Structure 1
Amino acid sequence: MITQFSLKIKASIATLTGLLALSLVIMSCTQQPGTTSPATTPTPMAVTNNTAGEEINQKLVAANTRFGFKLFSQIQKKQASKNVFISPSSVAMALTMAYNGSSGETQKAMTKALELQGLTLEEINKSNLLLKQALTTADPQIKLAIANSLWANQQVTLNPDFIQKNQQYYDAEISKLNFSDPASVGTINNWVKKQTNGKITEIVDQLQPDQILWLINAIYFKGNWSEPFAKEATKNRPFTLLNGSKKQHPLMSQSDRYQYLENDQFQAISLPYGNGQMSFYVFLPKSGKSLDSFYNSLNAQTWEQWMKQFRSRQGSISLPRFKLEYDISLNEALKALGMAPAFNRQQADFSGMSNVKANIDEVKHKTFVEVNEEGTEAAAVTGVGIRTTSAPARSEPFEMVVDRPFFSVIRDNKTGTILFMGSIVDPQ
């Protein structure tokens, strides 16, 4: 029998839809059949989050930003010729949920990879709670919901403190499943589909009896442009691909005052959603400048510098209408960032999660994004499998025609949180 504690987050309306789900799988192979004790799914806890008047620790936002750009860099270097679209904010939150069950050298490795040095676990958890509250109530014109869940094998006992922290700080739903029942796969995937408004339909393809846990984080974001693009202004125009060839593709166009930045390397624009607290940023390398050279200068430090240099300016923007799906395993990228011990069967230590020795088996990430005249819709799912082991602005109007590969970001301007980022080399 499955016990579920659900969290329903009230959100607002806008044109960007984003979802990230992180699934954490722990596989138990050290216990023999008949020797496991039944898992106890905790009853709903009367948790009081005394966050009134407290502020988000900006060290956590800065850590998430550094982690996000490092992760994106690792992926983009390996897939420079492909579209890349990820949700670093949700990956960070989901991994932090797993971080609550890590210990010893594994915790140190995850601290380094997630850039959490100088923050206590309590500070991390409380700031994530405050951040989630701030993001989901940011703008009545934007719909943003964040949901977390833990799907436990009914034959395994999870650490009560691990469960309590994930409930208290991440509002995680807790469910027990029979991992030997094929129907359990559909139960998890139906939750994913619901949280992503049907944009992501599957994160689990099968469950093994020796798995003990799937941990999933989902973010759903939908927002309309503050000023929608007129559909009659959308025209087919040439878009230059990385190999120099051109394809005809619909470009949306409008003119207004925008937050804008231009230097010798690129043009950049901020297109606001709703009341303007959240924006879609587009960075377009200048003609003759490559997207790779732009990425060589892109990191958390330069990003923060650029954010301070945007100024209001009259101009026009032509932006491709596009829609894409993206699917990647994050194992190698996370190992390169220092998380290798968490994947190693001999070294991994998740003793804070369960008394069953475990290591991360796989981290999967799926995304969906669509940009059109009304706004943007995006979705992302990340699955983590854990296996038991033993220049100065000019005054004249600008013209920005995004007719070649570009970098894009969806950002909450108040907190500085990056919800999504992507490299678009071939709009579909």
Structure 2
Amino acid sequence: MKSALYLCLLLLGLQVQGQLKSNLNDEQQEQEIAHFSEDHSQAEGENSPHAKIAPSNADFAFRVYKQIREETGNKNIFFSPLSISTAFTMLSLGVRSNTLSQLHKGLAFNLTDMEEQEIHAGFQRILQLLNDPHREDQLSMGNALFVDDRLKLLKKFLDDVRNLYYSEATSTSFQNPPEAIKEINEYIETKTHGKIVDFLQDLDPQTVMVLVNYVFFKGYWEKPFSPLSTRDADFMLDAKNSVKVKMMHEKKHFNIHRDEKLSCWVVEIPYKGNATSLFILPDEGTMKQVEDALLKETVSSWLKSLEYREIYLDLPKFSISGYYDVKSLFEKMGVTEVFSDQADLSGVAENSNLKVSKAIHKAMVDVSENGTEAAAVTLIEIIAESAEFPPPPHIKFNRPFLMMIIDKSTDGVLFMGRIVNPTAKEE
């Protein structure tokens, strides 16, 4: 019989109002993460650990996006690739043999290019940079393990998750599911500032561990939109159907790029601090073409091609969320063994035969005049088996578009999504 482990990732993003103060996982994590030198609060160059894993993390982000697109069809998409990859990479500390090789491949890590220890050092550095208390934006990322009293974690696994991912193990009695669920949900609600409530609904009877990863980001635009200019407008769902939205309007200088090859506009809207957002507006009928071209090379080219120009910008206020079965996504991406009877998680605990039974992710985003709010959660369960300047262009985001939130200090894609209906509610 295989025992059960839940892995839960939670990501909460940009918020319009509130204090600009980082909220770390807990006091001990706060102290540990703060120990890194202030002199290294900016990106340290291409040889730094987080820079070495950035291309793989970007590849993973776009792979997951395209897999979600296949499953959701023409619906809104919003998720945190960094949250998902951090949780599974942390779990990989206890994964062995072919299960580990398959997981690394699914996460887009090539061990011929980097060593396993460099991968974990990269995520450790990302955690340090995202939790830097001196950031102007509010950004925090943390991990937690909820462990059944009967499960004896191996000292090396426990030390590694503590030292590399700043995660502590909390003793939890999964023999009392209602109390365990309440404890985990209270943790998630606290770390997401009340944005994700009652996320965990049930536990498999064989659950012995739940791993939680959360990301929280609250940012303010460098140049806020004027609420006085916001007014009702039509957002075209397709050629014939539209919905009413609150459309923000500005005539200002932005970094923009017109990609003639892909037939789309790219507009960068930076936040105060080290985070920025990219809004990509495909021409009518070219969304699939742009989505198919979503690769790290494409985004890198966009960022290098941005020009500071005055434009008329129309951008809708919106609030959307997404919920995804990451287990299903991973299996369709070729990561199957970690969910099967052949799973080798022998590096996690003593005398236990573990596998992942569930992996889920939830994300939300709220964009308005002052900034953005976003949140996400992923849960994985391992169970017992059973050019020249013409007049300013008018760029109207009044039809389906793409969005990315990027942390500049780590070159990490914090969130990405597709907005096809700004008024759609969570299903």
Pairwise TM-score range, normalised by the shorter structure? 0.7 to 0.9
Aligned to 1:176: 171
Matched, 1:365 2:358: no
Whole-angstrom distance in 2 between the partners of 1:399 and 1:49: 44
Q: Is the 8 A contact 2:14 2:372 kept in 1?
A: no
Matched, 1:351 2:350: no
Compute the displacement of 1:301 (Å): 2.3
Evaluate the alpha carbon distance shift between residue 48 and residue 246 of structure 1 in structure 2; reply closer, same or farther with a 3 A threshold.
closer
Matched, 1:397 2:392: yes
Aligned to 1:35: none
1:246-296 residue CA offsets vs partner (Å, 9 max, x unmatched): 222111111211111112210110101114x3112100012x333122112
Q: Is the 8 A contact 1:285 1:406 kept in 2?
A: yes
Evaluate the alpha carbon distance shift between residue 384 and residue 339 of structure 1 in structure 2; reply closer, same or farther with a 3 A threshold.
same
1:17-416 → structure 2 map (5 Å cutoff): 52=37, 55-117=48-110, 118-137=113-132, 140-181=135-176, 182-242=178-238, 244-264=240-260, 265-275=263-273, 277-286=274-283, 288-345=284-341, 347-354=342-349, 355-389=351-385, 394=389, 396-416=391-411
Q: Is the 8 A contact 2:15 2:373 kept in 1?
A: no
Aligned to 1:22: none
SS of structure 2 residue aligned to 1:308: helix
Whole-angstrom distance in 1 between the partners of 2:313 and 2:131: 29
Q: Is the 8 A contact 1:316 1:398 kept in 2?
A: yes
Compute the displacement of 1:114 (Å): 0.6
Evaluate the alpha carbon distance shift between residue 419 and residue 236 of structure 1 in structure 2; reply closer, same or farther with a 3 A threshold.
same
Evaluate the alpha carbon distance shift between residue 144 and residue 49 of structure 1 in structure 2; reply closer, same or farther with a 3 A threshold.
closer
Compute the displacement of 1:140 (Å): 3.4
Q: Residue 127 of structure 1 aligns to which amino acid in structure 2?
A: G
Compute the displacement of 1:242 (Å): 3.3
Compute the displacement of 1:316 (Å): 2.0
Evaluate the alpha carbon distance shift between residue 246 and residue 139 of structure 1 in structure 2; reply closer, same or farther with a 3 A threshold.
farther
Q: CA RMSD in A?
A: 2.4
Q: Is the 8 A contact 2:325 2:360 kept in 1?
A: yes
Compute the displacement of 1:70 (Å): 0.3
Compute the displacement of 1:203 (Å): 3.1
Aligned residue-pair number:
387
Whole-angstrom distance in 2 between the partners of 1:73 and 1:394: 35
TM-score, length-normalised on structure 1? Answer: 0.85
Q: Is the 8 A contact 2:34 2:128 kept in 1?
A: no
SS of structure 2 residue aligned to 1:189: helix
TM-score, length-normalised on structure 2? Answer: 0.85
SS of structure 2 residue aligned to 1:314: strand
Q: Is the 8 A contact 1:14 1:225 kept in 2?
A: no
**Which is worse superposed, 374-383 or 209-218?**
209-218
Whole-angstrom distance in 2 between the partners of 1:48 and 1:424: 35
Q: Residue 370 of structure 2 aligns to which amino acid in structure 1?
A: E
SS of structure 2 residue aligned to 1:403: coil
Whole-angstrom distance in 1 between the partners of 2:293 and 2:116: 32
Q: Is the 8 A contact 1:14 1:142 kept in 2?
A: no
1:175-195 residue CA offsets vs partner (Å, 9 max, x unmatched): 011112121110000000001
1:383-406 residue CA offsets vs partner (Å, 9 max, x unmatched): 01112349x575542221100000
Whole-angstrom distance in 1 between the partners of 2:361 and 2:66: 15
Whole-angstrom distance in 2 between the partners of 1:136 and 1:328: 26
Compute the displacement of 1:415 (Å): 2.5
Q: Is the 8 A contact 1:64 1:115 kept in 2?
A: yes
Q: Residue 302 of structure 2 aligns to which amino acid in structure 1?
A: W
Q: Residue 282 of structure 2 aligns to which amino acid in structure 1?
A: P
Q: Which runs of 4+ in 1 moved over 6 A?
A: 46-50
Whole-angstrom distance in 2 between the partners of 1:328 and 1:202: 16
Q: Residue 345 of structure 2 aligns to which amino acid in structure 1?
A: F
Compute the displacement of 1:337 (Å): 2.1
Compute the displacement of 1:413 (Å): 2.4
Work out the percentage of aligned pairs sharing the same amino acid: 26
Compute the displacement of 1:47 (Å): 7.5
Compute the displacement of 1:212 (Å): 1.1
